Amino acid sequence: FRFKDSLAEDLRQADLVISHAGAGSCLETLEEGKPLIVVINEKLMNNHQLELAKQLHRDGHVLYCNCSTLVETLQSMDLSTLKPFPPGQPEKFALFLDKAVGFK
């Protein structure tokens, strides 16, 4: 599909997700607890997708590749090496924000 309002149900049903390295796509997948292969788009300005993919890989949460190495990555992947992504803690940010603007 070219566009879909929400991928939430698709993510819940997935055994493996292959995605571009957009921050939203990566975080949504990792928060769902799904193994993720990030395919970077090297043609983007400043190649920011590579930075995110490398950091998530260094932290042990994703595998990453580019389009030309995707098949090789799929053939050699070991998903058991991936670490769960820690859950977000929005309440900590809310407390920080309250303090920063003088509510507490």
User: In the predicted model, what is the mean pLDDT of the chain?
Assistant: 90
Domain that holds residue 94: 7-101
2 located within any domain: no
- Which amino acid is residue 97, in one-letter code? L
52 located within any domain: yes
In DSSP terms, 36 is beta-bridged to 17
CATH number at residue 92: 3.40.50.2000
Of 4-13, 43-52, 76-85, highest mean pLDDT: 76-85
Q: What is the mean pLDDT of residues 84-93?
A: 83
32 located within any domain: yes
| Number of domain units in the chain | 1
pLDDT in the model for residue 25: 92
